Amino acid sequence: MELLIASSSVADAGIGCWDLESGAEQLRYKSCASPPHGLACVGQRFLASSQLREQPSASSGSILYWSWSKPQVEVKSLPAEPIKPIAANSHGTYIAGGGQSGDIYMWEVASGRLLKKWHAHYRAVTCLVFSQDGSFLISGSEDGCVRIWSLLTVFEECESQRASHLYLHSFTGHTLRITDIVIGYGGVSATIVSASEDRTCKVWSLLKGRLLRNIVFPSVIDAIALDPAEHVFYAGSRDGSIYIAALNAESPSTSSYGMHIIGSLSDHSKAVTCLAYSTGDLLISGSEDGMVRVWDPITHNIVRMFRLAKGPVNNILVVRRPLYLNLGSFSNPHTSSRRHGSQLPPPLDKYVTSADEDVDNKGVIRLPSLYNAPRDASYISHRTIDNHLKELQQQGSSAATEMEVERLKHECNRTLQMVQQWKKMYENLHEFCVNELLDGDQVDGSKRNAV
Amino acid sequence: MARSKAASKKQQKQQQKRGVDFKKIKRKLGRKLPPPKNATNTEVKSKAIVLPEQSVASEKAGLAVSKKGLTLKELLQQTSHHNSKVRRDALMGLKDLFQKYPAELRSHRYAVIEKLRERIGDDDKVVRETLYQLLKTVVFPGCKEDNQGPFVSLMVAYIFNAMTHLAVDVRLMAFKFFDLVVQYYPPSFSLYADKVLQNYEDILRKNQFYLEDKAKLRSALAGLVRCLSLLPCNKRKVDSSEENMAGQKILHAFELDMPAESSGFSSITKKLKDLVPVLVNCFQDFFPSVHHMPLLDAQSFDCMHSILQSIDLVVGFFGYGIHQGKPASQLSYEGPDEAIWDHTISSLLLKKLFGVFPLNPTNHLSEKVDDRFFILNIVITEIFLRCSEWICPPGFLLEKFLQYIENALLGSVRPAVTHGPVKQFGRNIYFFCCLLFQSLCCKWQVIGSLVFFSNCGANHNNGILQAFTKIFEGCNPQSSLKLACLSAIEEMLIPGDDMVYPDASDPLFEYQITWIRALPQLLILLGDKHPSSSQVVLHLLLRLGQCANSSSPFSREYENMQYSLDKFYSSCVDRGDVYYGPFIRLSWDSQELAICGLYYFSNLGPFLLKSIAFCCLCSELEHLVLFRIIEVLHSAFSAGHIQIADYISFFMTLLSRFKVLPENIYPDVESDAKISNRGTFKLLTNTVCSCLSRIGDDSLVFQILEQVIFDQLLLKPPLDNACALLRVLVVLDCKPTRLSEQGIITLSKYLSGYLFEVVHCIPEDDEENSLPTHQQTCCYYMLPCFFLFDRSPKLLKLVLNLMGSLITESSSSPSSHSYTQYGNDNSNQINAVVSALLLMHKDTKVRKIISSFKEEVVHILQIIHSLQVKFLVTGNPENGLAVITYTYDLSGRSQVTSFSLSG
């Protein structure tokens, strides 16, 4: 039960949503003009997309939220500067956005708080990816640099002050804009593949922080998708074909496309702009002609085609159908929307709020009755834990003072005893010395007398 | 007498030759009696035939033997012979044998090494030397490919044994052996670093024999330098070596050497710490010799140099450890700085090493000696700069060093920089500047211990930078010094990890601007003769572009660079005369770098675009590069770095000016890429079309382009270019057409001429046996017209009318028409019209449209018909006949179609 979600840069196309199995089109969410990498599904709860600016004069682009059940935009937030790429971690607790100035913004979804903003690149950030476990954020920039951020380092004040740089690794191998980044499974030892306008894809090791492989393609690669087994990756190029590049084996150099490129899927007349891989072993590609094609990667045949828009398809997501989202809710959105009420989190903040204003009741979100999400409960438990902590601290401190007093008393006794002991010893010594002196005097006196 | 003497001599000789067995014992003294006359000569003459291998010849039949006929086994046995000469000979024999039979070594290497290693601690000097030569020239090179780990481990135990030998000679030689091992198998140092360093420490402590045996010590110290240079001290170097490694190999391969290398260096910090004082003391021991002897002899110089280099490397390693410690500090919270760097070393260095700086020759005797002192001083400076980050040197010391650096850069310490160790000098310049920049960076951040730089060093910094700039500008563009300067500049221009830019008030900023401005000039000066230097410059430019965003102070400089970079691509000398810059002849890598640099101009102006366009039009340019340029420019355009007007005019220039060779169209030749670049041009047309259609709103782009293309068409470009322009028009157009009324009229005038030209230019064979390629060629040129006709029937009507009137005009006033140069002749004119009509007829779609303009066609036919009659009357039968046949053909068919339509 997977949903295929696609958005385009043309505003009137909206976000298309199809059932991948049946091919039935679901709701179409309206008025979305997303840049590449500007669409994210936040924890399967709702869709978020950054928006292209309509006119260059407009001061900033916005980030919009759609709930599953309503085609209209529900929440609109205005960040401090135009955000192009956004990404959410798999639980949907954070949204990261990359700014035009090279800054990365990190918001907490539930409260909308801007947790952190830092200068990440010289030039505009072009894509952002969270690692599978959400502990790393990988960013690509217009200056060809790929940087890996460990969220642990980014958020801990002392760590970030101690190190000369925030990032874990900085890969500067690409000469032009980064167009796409994917990360494989495997936590710390995952493989990262980055594509750039310099016609290359580079394979990096997260663990060692170095280049593993450089693959030169016949044309610019705009999108990559990783095979779940990580044997190969698919690279959608501007010449309209999807190249298959080897990730593990030593490929024969006789390949007609180039080193490490095993083959290609080709039908697109126009450039491939985005790729996604579904768990049902299907490769999905979006093209500049506004079509979404579903491929069988084994037979290299097209299984399905969907039409999104006249303009280029910019983003494709494959998400598991949220449990509460049955087909009924699509058919009559009005009733469902009434049932759910406004369930989306508040808009994202523009600026970093100081730590004092930390206590923000917005964080405790109104839980919708229908979805069973233990991860949302964590927002409540966060508060609860805070309270618990406070209590514990208070209780603990009184108990601790008692213990401290007890200890001090004990110490006092011991010291007194010691003082006694020392006094005794001193007296003994004194006595001894006096005796010695007196004896000596007597001897001297007797000698003198003898003389 | 004489005879007998000669005889006796001979006898003696013979005796000597025969050896002891046939020795005659003299029993009597005095003169010999002459033999009686009848005496029979009983002497038997015999000659020995020496066959050394006689006894075992049969055994050795198939075996490899040395020159002396000894087998491997015998030789190995002889290596432990008690006689040193035999041992030496055996080693020589082994060398000889292995050189002749390399397979022998490979199969028995373990046995061989097990035997040979015993000789490492040999008492005899010559034997050890021979062994060294044997290992160096034969054994190690021979075993290079194999897994050397176990091989080396067999030897190392004996080497360490010899290192603790009583005889100093043996010990020193053992270090030489270890050096050899490290040379061929570098990981062995990290494996045994602990022991080796201990041994070095021991031997350097016992300094009573240094001064006697400097040559030996020199080689041992050279070994130490080699070992220590394996320590990771420069992050950049480590990275670059890894970059090279990435490539062909398997991605997730199991890595053998990893554990050995990574764990090896962390444990030896303590050992290195112990080593530093010993080295410093050792250096001090050389002092008297420096001061008392008038000349610093080569050997003690080498020793001193090696010692200093070793200290430098160790200090560098400490620094590396501190830098590395930062990311690792996530794990351990105790500060790594204190752990690695302790104050005993810093105070030691301060007192004993930096205190004596600079070393000065007592009397200036020769330039060579001056050079030597210079090098030593440079290395000390290097050490100082390396560790000035952690120790806080007192102000006067800093002053002294900065003064020295400044003087060195200005060349006042050593006036002749040009000859002598230029490389060393260059490396050091690079190094100075790296460190200087680091400290300057730190100045901006104002980190506690380094405030002193801003206090006492500022005036010197300025001086040093000035001197550096002078050197950079003064040196030969091709020289290695320039390269060193460039890498130093890169270090100083590209902000580091902290991404802090200098502000305009900083003195450094001024110099940075100067350097940036010098780069394009340098690039042009380098030309295409020094590809590696050019590549370095281009890479630097690219890096500069990458970090020159709008907030960077360099962005303006980078923008301005496009006005000086044009000569790198091409420049227009005179009208039409184009001078091509070095870009065209550079290698693919450099071109790629240069092209990528274009992307980062935030406003790529028409000036540079023009120069690039000329470059693109050059026939020498690889077509792959041409497409790459278009690709990158498209990326730059979509990132908003190029104005749309400039972008479009760039493409128009390409399409209208591209010279297609050969000019005549031969369909057969076309497939041959070597002769014709028509294929490239077709590809170019496609690429440009797709780029233009990707700009966005087609109708807007069309509006912009319409007039431009008409202007170009009216200039009458060659057929291919016209076709390309028409194709662009078609791609952006839609059905119904977007052409304006005026546009249709203009276009119709042009198209009638264009159709004639197409028909004329493509050599037509007989109608019957025309090849499919020919039809394809025709199709290629006609297709845009057909599209236009399809979208705007009005255009077709106008064109047909024009063709009709053209014939009448030309018939009334021959050769006066300005439209086409081919239509001078009446009959040619008519021919052309007819074949154009025929071509249109062949296409089914166009035929349908044409059929709706029956009147016009019939009108043309009527004119032709009347002409036929005229020709026949005026008595030009040949022309007339030709016309008749064509007309007949056409009219026949067209009438048939028109009839069928009407019926």
Listing from the earlier edge strand, what are the strands of the sheet with A2-8?
Answer: A15-19, A2-8, A313-320
pLDDT interval class at A347 (50, 70, 90): confident
**A248 half-sphere exposure, CB direction, 13 A CA radius:** 9
| pLDDT at residue B870 greater than cutoff 90 | no
User: What are the tokens at B397?
Assistant: 């010391």
Confidence band for B722, pLDDT divided at 50, 70 and 90: confident
The count of CB pairs under 8 A between chains A and B is 87
Residue of A nearest to B239 (CA): A210
Residue with tokens 């400097």, as numbered in its chain:
B214
Is the per-residue pLDDT at A138 higher than 90? yes
Band of pLDDT at residue A134, cut at 50, 70 and 90: confident
CB contact under 8 A, B246 and A213: yes
- Classify the C-alpha dihedral B202-B207-B208-B210 as positive or negative: positive
Chain B residue with Cα closest to A124: B549
Predicted local distance difference test score (pLDDT) of residue A416:
95
Mapped onto helix, strand or coil, the DSSP state of residue A108 is: strand
The identity of residue B239, as a single letter, is D
- The arithmetic mean of pLDDT across residues A281-306, rounded, is 88
Q: Is the pLDDT of residue B248 over 60?
A: no
Question: Is residue A430 scored above 90 in pLDDT?
Answer: yes
The answer to whether residue B247 scores a pLDDT higher than 60 is: no
Q: Which residue has the higher pLDDT, B878 or B796?
A: B796
How many beta carbons lie within 10 A of that of residue B832, not counting itself?
23
- Long-range CB contact pairs, A358-364, < 8 A, 24+: A360/A111, A360/A113, A362/A110, A362/A111, A362/A112, A362/A113, A363/A108, A363/A110, A363/A111, A363/A113
pLDDT at residue A419 in the model: 95
Tens of pLDDT, residues B325-342: 443 333 333 334 444 556
Amino acid at B547: C
Give me the mean pLDDT over the A240-244 stretch.
89
- In this complex, do B251 and A163 lie within 8 Å of one another by their Cβ atoms? no
Contact B547 A143 (CB under 8 A): yes
> Above 50 in pLDDT, residue B900?
no
User: Residue B715 — very low, low, confident or very high, per pLDDT cuts 50/70/90?
Assistant: confident
Give all strands (DSSP E) within B585-670, no chain letters: none
Contact B497 A288 (CB under 8 A): no
Residue that is written with structure tokens 């052996």 in the block: B177
* Edge-to-edge order in the sheet of strand A272-278: A272-278, A282-287, A291-296, A301-307
CB of A96 closer than 8 Å to CB of A103: no
- Chain segment B752-789, per-residue pLDDT in tens: 888 877 777 765 544 444 556 666 777 788 888 888 88
Kindly state the helix (H) or strand (E) to which residue A305 belongs, with its residue range: strand A301-307
> Which one-letter amino acid corresponds to residue B507?
P
Res A366 pLDDT > 50: no
Task: Determine the 3-state secondary structure of B268 from DSSP.
Answer: helix
Residue of A nearest to B633 (CA): A197
Distant-in-sequence contacts of B163-167, Cβ < 8 A, 24+ apart: B163/B199, B163/B203, B164/B199, B164/B202, B165/B121, B167/B123
Check residue B404 and give its pLDDT.
72
Instruction: State yes or no: pLDDT of B884 exceeds 50.
Output: no
According to the model, what pLDDT value does residue B815 have? 44
User: How high is the pLDDT of residue A182?
Assistant: 93
Backbone angles phi, psi at A8, to 5 degrees: -130, 165
**Could you tell me the pLDDT band of residue A401, with boundaries at 50, 70 and 90?**
confident
Please give the DSSP secondary-structure letter assigned to residue B822: G
pLDDT bracket for residue A431 (50, 70, 90): very high
Cα B412 from chain centroid?
35
pLDDT above 90 for B442: no
Q: Contact, B489 vs B540, CB < 8 A? A: yes
Please determine, for residue B516, whether its predicted confidence score (pLDDT) is greater than 80.
yes
**B338-354 pLDDT per residue, tens:** 445 566 777 777 777 77
What is the sign, positive or negative, of the torsion defined by CA atoms of A399, A401, A407, A409?
A: negative
Confidence tier at B563 by pLDDT (50, 70, 90): confident
Mean pLDDT over A358-373 rounds to 44
Whether the upstream peptide bond of residue B36 has omega within 30° of 0, thus cis, is: no
Q: What is the arithmetic mean of pLDDT over B554-572?
A: 82
pTM above 0.80, yes or no: no
CB contact under 8 A, A198 and B592: yes
Q: How far from chain centre, in Å, is Cα B407?
A: 34
Here the tokens at position A326 are 């049955």
Chain segment B485-510, per-residue pLDDT in tens: 777 777 667 765 555 555 656 666 77
Higher pLDDT, B445 or A383: A383
> φ, ψ for residue A109 (rounded to 5)?
-70, -45
Identity (one letter) of the amino acid at B370? Answer: D
Place of tokens 């029956």: B854
Read off the pLDDT band of B825 (50, 70, 90). Answer: low
Radius of gyration over alpha carbons of chain A, in Å?
33
Question: How much is the pLDDT for B286?
Answer: 75
Cβ atoms of residues A347 and A77 within 8 Å: yes
CA nearest B541 in A: which residue? Answer: A175
> What pLDDT score does B864 carry?
75
Tell me how close the Cα of B193 comes to any Cα of chain A, in angstroms: 24
- The pLDDT-based confidence of B365 (bands split at 50, 70, 90) is low
Say how far apart CA B596 and CA B394 lie, in whole Å.
47
Output the six-digit token pair for B826.
Answer: 């009446």
Regarding an ipTM greater than 0.90, the answer is: no
Q: What region, left, alpha or beta, does residue A250 occupy, with left being phi > 0 and alpha being psi -120 to 50 degrees?
A: beta
Element holding A400 (H helix, E strand): helix A374-450
Task: Categorize the per-residue pLDDT at A432 as very low, low, confident or very high, splitting at 50, 70 and 90.
Answer: very high
Chain A closest CA to B597's CA: distance in Å? 8
What pLDDT is attached to residue B406?
67
What token pair was written down for B375?
């090098």
B239 and A212 within 8 Å at the Cβ level: the answer is no
Q: Is the pLDDT of residue B254 over 80?
A: no
Q: Any idea which residue has 């041959």 for tokens?
A: B672
* B516-to-A427, B513, B590 alpha-carbon distances in Å: 84, 5, 19
Residue A415 has a pLDDT of 95
Comparing CB atoms, the residue among B330, B593, B599 nearest residue A159 is: B330
How much is the average pLDDT of B102-108? 80
Check B593 against A175: CB less than 8 A apart. yes
**HSE of B227, CA atoms in CB hemisphere, 13 A:** 32
Question: What is the average pLDDT across A416-424?
Answer: 95
Q: How far is CA A104 from CA A12, A138, B456, B777, B838, in A?
A: 29, 11, 39, 55, 65
Q: For position B826, what pLDDT does the model report? A: 63
Quick one: pLDDT at residue A422? Answer: 95
Residue A178 reports pLDDT greater than 90: yes
- Closest approach of A312 to chain B, Cα-based (Å): 10
Q: Is B510 exposed, middle or buried (0-12, 13-18, 19+ CB in 10 A)?
A: middle
Could you tell me which residues come within 8 angstroms of residue B192 by beta carbon, excluding any fewer than 6 positions away?
B156, B160
With a cut of 80, say whether residue B233 has pLDDT above it. Answer: no
Query: Closest Cα of chain A to B278: distance in Å?
Result: 34
pLDDT at A413: 95
Most confident residue range from A16-25, B23-32, B221-230: A16-25
Most confident of A29-33, A42-46, A90-94, A125-129: A125-129
In this predicted structure, the answer to whether residue B429 has a pLDDT above a threshold of 90 is no
Sign of the alpha-carbon torsion through A19, A23, A27, A30: positive
Interval B280-285 mean pLDDT = 80
Mean pLDDT estimate for chain A:
80
Q: How far is CA B309 from CA A216, B14, B206, B315, B426, in A?
A: 42, 64, 20, 10, 16
Residues B829-841 have pLDDT tens digits of 777 777 777 777 7
**CA–CA separation, A442 vs A430, rounded Å?**
18
More confident residue, B724 or B776: B724
Q: Give the list of residues 6+ apart from residue B23 with CB closer than 8 angstroms, or none.
A: B15
Partner residue opposite B546 with nearest CB, options A144, A191, A219: A144
Which of the two residues, B765 and A142, has the higher pLDDT score?
A: A142
B539: nearest CA partner in chain A = A175
B252 pLDDT higher than 70: no
Would you tell me how many other CB atoms lie within 10 Å of the CB of residue A163?
16
The model's pLDDT over A38-72, given as tens digits with 9 standing for 90+, comes to 899 888 888 898 888 665 555 557 888 888 888 88
DSSP B823: G
Treating both helix axes as pointing N-terminal to C-terminal, what angle do B606-617 and B623-638 enclose, rounded to 10 degrees?
Answer: 160
The residue ranking higher by pLDDT, A255 or B558, is: B558
B250 chain-A contacts, CB cut-off 8 A: 248-250
Pick the residue from chain A with its C-alpha nearest to B252.
Answer: A248
A265-276 confidence digits (pLDDT tens): 887 678 899 999
Beta strands at B570-574 and A94-99: parallel, antiparallel or unpaired: unpaired
| Cα of A212 to nearest chain B Cα, Å | 5
Q: Which residues in chain A are closer than 8 Å to B596, comparing Cβ atoms?
A: 175-176, 198
Q: What is the mean pLDDT of chain B?
A: 72
Is the bond leading into B736 cis (omega within 30 degrees of zero)?
yes
> What is the 8-class DSSP label of residue B417?
-
- What would the two tokens of residue A103 be? 């800054």
A143 to chain B: which residues are within 8 Å by CB? 546-547, 549, 600
Calpha distance B609→B603 (Å, rounded):
11
- CA torsion through residues B557, B559, B562, B565, sign: positive
Mean pLDDT, residues A172-192: 88
